[in-house]
Structure 1
Amino acid sequence: MALRKHRWALVIGCLLLLAATVRSQVFVVGEKTATDGISTHFTRTNLPLPDQPMKERGRRELVRMLVAEQGFAHCALPMGAGLTLRANGPIETNDAAYKEMIYKKGESAAPGDRVVVTSLTVKGDRIILDLNGGPYEKHRFLRHVQFNDNPVVADTAQEAVGSRVTLLFEGFVPDVSAPEVKALLAPVIDFGVKTTEQAYANTLPPLVKQAVDVHEVLVGMNHRMVLAAMGEPESKIREKQSGDPSGATYEEWIYGHEPQTIHFVKFMGDRVTEVEIAELGKPLEIHTKDEMGGYNPPEPTREIAMGDQEPNNSANGQAPPPTLRKPGEPIPAGGSGKVQFPTASQPVPPPAGVPAAGSPSDPHLL
């Protein structure tokens, strides 16, 4: 009985120590890691603007033509109201502040995502557009009205996840039309495409965009680029890499069937590593070298850094096993960190107070 209590006490102590160790390790994603791969390149527009200020009729025309209009994000749109674009000019926020805004507030729309203009306001020298509901939660006065202590309208407690883009002019808002406003917003919103794939292709470098437009797969593309260029494959195969002792798997997408030209697109992770083109009457065409022209698309996952303390990793990159020793306490003499199993010639002595097997006081012999 005493031995059983001792074992339970040891198990509980190990669990408590392990729980304390887990609580002390906090996973922290840094700003540099979270915003890696976000493009800060914006192409300025060069559109002639009218000399006359906008009148009430022009304002109403903009609201009628642009509210509920759908487009696609040409860049990452941060949540909130901090994005200001000068007409025929740059974005007022510099690259570092732009990435910091996305890191702190989050993305309302990624490049290629569909956005909807939900509100438009002309005020002074700027046109303010709210996208996907805007950056602020809409206030409803019925939330404050109750009937027999029951609210008339239930509060959903949903936070606003929209964005706001401010189009800034010099001195006053000129008498611009809805197509001209769309053209001025081209650096951040693309109203000229009708599909997500087209919007995403417009954010890529010219070499990759040209390949997507002609439905060609390049070695080095990621899954989203291949989908934009070729669409969904007819079949997918997942197999282990032959001769790989680690058992790494690859994925192969197959487009077409006989007698058509067949494309075999091989992925390792999120990258195309090999493209095979089998055309009727021609030898098999194999591409294995990088064809992206130096462009390295961002990874779909983010690296996570360990906070609080740097773990004392072993040579194989794994964390050390849990232990009951205090930090800095040396290993006892003769202890190598491994459990020493007794051999047949070295029987295990019984704990204190427990009779040895085969002794006259052994309860099994009574």
Structure 2
Amino acid sequence: MALFRYRSALLLGSLALSSLSLKAAHGQVFVVGEGTATADISTDFSPTHVSLPDTPMTERGRRELVRNLEAEQGFAHRALPVSAGVTLRANGPISPSGAEYRKMIYQKGEAAALGDRVIITSLEIKPDRIVLDLNGGPYLKHRFLSHIQINDAPVAQTNQDRATGSRITLIFEGHVPEISAPEVKALLEPVIDFGVKTSEQAYADTLPPALKEAIAAHEVLVGMNHRMVLAALGAPENKMRDQPSGDPSGGRYEEWIYGHVPQTIRFVRFVGDRVTVVEIAALGKPIEIHDKDEMAGYNSGEPAREVAMGDKAPDGTEKTNAPPTLLKPGEAASAGRTDGKVQFPDDKKDSKGGASAPSAQPPSNNLALAQQPR
């Protein structure tokens, strides 16, 4: 009986200690509320003022927009939620806004924080809106192979169990206009900053002010090189290579074509790495032809000097320099070597004029075999 009472006392003591420890642990637990979790998320918004065309988007414009926007990288101007509920009206407000925007991030999670790099991984153009998926979008891509197992091992290994991207829907009034990629980027400026410089833009910043102004105005000047034209107008829609007047012996040229009817069309002709002719064909106007240097002396200087090939001097005359030699000072050259080739020492006489010593060469294999005793 005494032993039973002792065990009961120990059991009651351990239960009391456990309850105290649970109360202490419960007192240390704290919960982060929505206000605390989203206190540092900024929801300030300023609408854009981008001039948009009235003509509806064509199939050609659709292809160009997808080609120029997919895989583009930028930086988040605000925190982006893992959700498809963010809508932005062209030159208008964003929805949701304020407290509702913070609540969405608190409930769905954050896809990108302020200043994080984002990539346009998918682009869909609908009649009145453009849907852009960032960093893979808000929905995890379903793979049917993940449901198939062989010997209790899944066929497709998935390293991601939830989506981590976001989606922004850009809505237009009535229809999507014939809009370009830079204009879409300008409309998304309150949300994403696409101001990352390309190599062409970084190259343009190193040019003189006059050329920088021409490139900023998307003008091509006679005398520009390929990189300058790419910085001013981007990649051309078409290219062609030909020879002037069909002359087979004439120099070849390359022509870059920008625009299509009824837009203004520009023909930029290169000879080598320089623009030689710029033709501008605007609707209802005569063709403008620019064929004089317009670089304001940027390319002035000594003309390019052609490197002479062979044994001729740059002026076409024969070289009079002595041929290369391996002779030591005072050493006689081999007889009969007057063809301008490399001069070797005479193999019959040494440097003192005497007969050269015969070279000690090992006997051939056949001779060695013949001398062996049988």
Q: TM-score, normalised by structure 2?
A: 0.48
In terms of Rg, which structure is larger? 2
Which structure carries more relative contact order (alpha carbon 8 Å, separation 6+)? Answer: 1
